[in-house]
Amino acid sequence: MHSQVLPAVLLLLLLLLGASAPQGEGAEPGDRGQEQVPEGVPEENGVLVLNRSTLGLALQQHPALLVEFYAPWCGHCKALAPEYSKAATLLAAESVKATLAKVDGPAEQELAQEFGVTEYPTLRFFRDGNRTHPEEYTGPREAEGIVKWLQRRVGPSATQLEDEESAQALIDAQDTVVIGFFQDLQDEDVAAFLALAQDALDLTFGLTDRPQLFQKYGLTQDTVVLFKKFDEGRADFPVDNELGLDQADLSRFLLTHSLHLVTEFNSQTSPKIFTARILNHLLLFINQTLATHRELLGGFREAAPPFRGQVLFVAVNVDADNDHVLQYFGMKAQEAPTLRFINVETTKKYAPAGREPVTATSVSAFCHSVLNGEVKPYRLSQEVPPDWDQKLVKTLVGENFEQVAFDETKNVFVKFYAPWCTHCKEMAPAWEALAEKYKDRQDLVIAELDATANELEAFAVQGFPTLKYFPAGPGRKVVEYRSARDLETFSKFLDNGGELPEEELAEEPPGPSPEMANATTPPKEEL
């Protein structure tokens, strides 16, 4: 019996000695059977630096963890880095119980694959150590926006109001405040309301179940009220007693009614204008430095209320930095004051028939005539330049596009660009080099068209640059080019008859620039 016990005692002693040995001893390099648990996680500028070994520890230690998967070569990641570090500082200063971390995706491919990372930067939010179901980050890419997004998740997304004083204080604090009046705060409609509040970062939210507050604001049923310090001052969204609160309908309601009846177009308002989901826009072009022009805003605003939710009324100051808007509508600043109407989905544009004065009556009549199909849209087109075919890259405009692009004897590769588009400017040398390379090919035309000054009946150009290939032969065939914008890849595409070899298909260029506004979706770079 002793002979059987002794080896067991020796084994126990060996195990105890091994446990007390310095960390890392007794294990072969690369042995993943018993990974060493790190004692701490390194930081850079307040941001945890994680890898495969430390992610689990970070999840244990931090109940609310936002992780950025980045690539060292990614330009968007480099732009995000200072804002991300600033957000970490703000979180600490405001005592928000959330932590920021980052992972080098290319260096930690196992983690990138585990969390479905296909582009950089990608941000995932982990709650309570749950590794299997992280939430995708959908907020802004600047420090204050990151902090607010996290605040709405780790704390209440709406302030609970107990009395008239607290309600009035919240309403007074901001230009727009949303308060949900619910008779039962345990109702599922409240959960939908709070979920919406998590992502509507530009609005302040409150909620209450107090009868005295229902009475003060004249309510007898569950209602979401938008209080605002402009226009009507208040807009009510009653909750359907049978169907409950429809989150999508409420979101549209808040987007629509949080906008001014007349919104001035500028870099701050353009994202809201294009995310309001109102497809019809009526634009008044005026010179804000002229009193006679400013006076027209009164009649413009007076005409707006009946069209709220159907037509967005926008004022464009031609004296400000809005040249690209004027160009998009084929206008000159001297034409102000004038109206233009556009459907942003079809990009069809409409102009008044004459130079009628801008009044509430004329504005309303123009709106109705467009909506009723009584006005034909106009298309922009420049005159055909005399030397349009003299350069290596041929110049197309609206008037000669059909003739050139659908010539059955030619293969035509066209770049649709905007003069102000950064991506277009970056690819211009490659496009010139392509035309130089194939200048002796009689059956091949390399061309470009300024799509801000020329519109086509065949199709609408939604972003810049857009590249399309029109192969020779009958049938008006069109091939969309969606790959790297360099001479080598362009050449492979042309040499292969307007198709890319399979190994090139995975390469995607940067996203196109939108026509009239800054991108509203945060940029990313694909793997």
Q: What is the set of active-site residues? A: 74, 77, 421, 424
Task: From 326, 324, 329, 336, select the one nearest 288 (Cα to Cα).
Answer: 336
Cα distances (Å, whole numbers) of residue 162 to 159, 211, 219, 457: 10, 10, 16, 59
Helix axes 188-199, 247-257, angle to 10 degrees: 50
- Collapsed DSSP state (helix, strand, coil) of residue 101: strand
Query: First vs last Cα of the chain: how many Å apart?
Result: 64
Q: What are phi and psi of 223, to 5 degrees?
A: -150, 140
Distance CA 499, CA 492 (A): 8
d(CA 188, CA 243): 11
Q: How many Cα atoms are found within 13 Å in the side-chain-facing hemisphere of 513?
A: 20
Burial class (CB in 10 A: 0-12, 13-18, 19+), 288: middle
The answer for residues whose C-beta is within 8 angstroms of residue 424's C-beta and 6 or more apart is 415, 417, 418, 464, 465, 513
Separation of alpha carbons 430 and 505, rounded Å: 19
The 8-class DSSP code of residue 244 comes to: B
Interhelix angle 75-93/143-154, nearest 10 degrees = 50
Return d(Cα 11, Cα 4) in angstroms, integer: 12
Question: Bridge partners of 444?
Answer: 411
Amino acid sitting at position 366: F
Strand (E) or helix (H) holding 403:
helix 401-405
Find out whether 419 and 489 touch, Cβ atoms under 8 Å: no
In angstroms, rounded to a whole number, what is the distance separating the alpha carbons of residues 451 and 327?
A: 10
Q: Name which of 431, 418, 419, 413 is nearest 463 in CA terms.
A: 418
Distance (Å, rounded) from C-alpha 249 to C-alpha 194? 15
CA dist., res. 455 & res. 449, Å (int): 10
User: For strand 280-286 and strand 338-343, is the pairing parallel, antiparallel, or unpaired?
Assistant: antiparallel
